[in-house]
Structure 1
Amino acid sequence: MTTGIVIVAIVAILLGSTLQRLSGTGVGLVVAPVLALLMGPALGVFVTNSTTVVSGFLIMLAVIKDVNWKRYLIFMPMALLGAIPAAFMVRELEAAWLNIVIGSVVLISLALTFGTPRVPHIQSHALTGVAGVVGGFLNTSAGVAAPAMVMYSKFSRWDQRSFAATMQPTFMTMGIFSVGTKLAVGATTIDQLPPWWLFPIIVITVVGGIRIGAWLARRISIDTARRVAITLAGMGGAVTVIRGVLMLA
């Protein structure tokens, strides 16, 4: 792994962690397409999943009083159901197709999440379970669970403060499921993992991003943070799709 790859990865993780502290989401959307380009799709998403475990845990400590544990406990078993078939898909797909899947998921998710007009109000445990399954599948296959959760929050009219807080343990646990299932089915092996010293760097970078996000939270709006996340994620998703298509060609 070259110094250039490490530096770009650190910048992406720093930005994603900052945006996640500001708005509740951001790590997956920003980091997944960038790391997929730098490290290859399977390993890039694996490292993204590892990053969401760290960021979700650390941010959760700051917002834990606002977490809706009832919804979290519905999300979790359903997320595992989504993670298992996604891990097998990652194992079987070629790198080119994985790039296309990751980039397409990011782009389609952005369009659905931020381009969808007001949706009907639906409040049910079934919808919560479906969001957990879809989120678990997308997180494991593409490193991007946030859009499924944001769509669910729109349907359920979930308060932003509680939603952002609850997403932290949710993303943390989904990340654990994603890492565990992919190691279990052989979609990612121990030999393929990046050098051990990258993981302490990820932790330090996430801590830095959280601190920057907390500082910026008093100075910029959530809408501004989301626009930045959308722009960065859209660019990364488009480039990832293009790379996959070129690999096929």
Structure 2
Amino acid sequence: MTDLSLTPALWASLAIVVGSTLQRLSGTGVGLVVTPVLSLILGPVAGVLMTNATTTVSGFTIMLSVRDRVQWRKAAVVVATALPGAVLGALLVLVLPTAWLQIGIGLLVLIALVLTVTTPRLPHLDSKVALPVTGLIGGMLNTTAGVAAPAMVIAARLTRWDQRAFAATLQPIFMSMGLFSVLTKSVLGATGQPQLPPWWLVPVVIGLVLGGVGLGTLLESRVNPLQARTLALVIAGLGGLAAMVKGLSAVT
């Protein structure tokens, strides 16, 4: 993870800034945008790990500005069941070959996007049932592929979750899922690295996220949240397709 040449490092930095900006504008963006880009640059294991770290920082940072709209009880339910999902995801990362993990990341991103965009109006489901299941699935997906947002979007549709409160509540959920993913993979040795990244990457990621969040704050009155979400989906789709092609080429 530390042997980045200048050009890949710039692309990775740009992905983090753009993802953080879109997340500030629409509630989601970091996982969808950053995961496929970083998995192409750093490899599937290290790329998702870096995405998880970025999501932790971005979720915490954005949460501070929308904390008055966060529905903390719902967030707690999702977070509580995300931990066992993260453990299961880390075990999958530990045993899956790199090429197949790359294919899986690309495929999961593309499937998630299709479900997010094309899922019709779903029947109403009580949040007491939907949210714990969503936390488990989201925790696993976040750890293996860095994308928990589509699972959360489907849960929001099932429970008729108010969009404004939902977007705010996602932030502590993403922060916690990202942290769980980093910790479980570090403890189980599923980081793809013989040792943890150098300490200086932490302030660099924090700085990039803060820059993206600040840019999103400046653009908030000028950019429609739907436009920001659409852009995030387009970027994620292209990145997911590229990640899957790269994985397939390594297998064949």
TM-score by length of 2: 0.96
Alignment-derived partner of residue 245 in structure 1: 248
> Which of the numbers 211, 220, 223 marks the counterpart of 2:226?
223
Report how far residue 215 of structure 1 moved. 1.3
CA distance in 2, matches of 1:158, 1:124: 9
Deviations 1:80-110 (A, max 9, x none): 1111111010011111001011101100000
Contact 2:134/2:152 (<8 A) preserved: yes
Alignment-derived partner of residue 45 in structure 2: 42
Runs ≥4 residues deviating over 4 A: none
> Which of the numbers 227, 234, 239 marks the counterpart of 1:236?
239
CA distance in 2, matches of 1:124, 1:141: 25
> Which of the numbers 127, 131, 134 marks the counterpart of 1:131?
134
Deviations 1:128-164 (A, max 9, x none): 1001001100000000110000110011111111101
Alignment-derived partner of residue 33 in structure 1: 36
CA distance in 2, matches of 1:224, 1:76: 28
Deviations 1:50-109 (A, max 9, x none): 000100000000000000011011111210111111101001111100101110110000
CA distance in 2, matches of 1:101, 1:135: 15
Of 189-198 and 237-246, more deviation after overlay is shown by 189-198
Deviations 1:185-232 (A, max 9, x none): 111166344443332211111001001111111001111001100110
Alignment-derived partner of residue 5 in structure 2: 2
Alignment of 1:35-184 (within 5 A): 35-184=38-187
SS at match of 2:132: helix
CA distance in 2, matches of 1:230, 1:20: 12
> Which of the numbers 169, 188, 194 marks the counterpart of 1:185?
188
CA distance in 2, matches of 1:124, 1:76: 14
Contact 1:84/1:181 (<8 A) preserved: yes
Q: Aligned AA for 1:183?
A: S
* 1:202 equivalent in alignment to 2:205: yes
CA distance in 2, matches of 1:189, 1:34: 17
SS at match of 1:191: coil
CA distance in 2, matches of 1:242, 1:62: 38
CA distance in 2, matches of 1:193, 1:232: 29
CA distance in 1, matches of 2:204, 2:127: 41
Contact 2:46/2:192 (<8 A) preserved: no
TM-score by length of 1: 0.97
Contact 2:45/2:192 (<8 A) preserved: no
Q: Aligned AA for 1:28?
A: G
Report how far residue 18 of structure 1 moved. 0.3
CA distance in 2, matches of 1:236, 1:193: 26
Q: Which runs of 5+ in 1 are unaligned?
A: none
Q: Aligned AA for 1:53?
A: T
Contact 2:156/2:166 (<8 A) preserved: yes
Identity, in percent, stands at 51
CA distance in 2, matches of 1:94, 1:204: 33
Aligned residues: 249
Provide the aligned C-alpha RMSD in A: 1.1
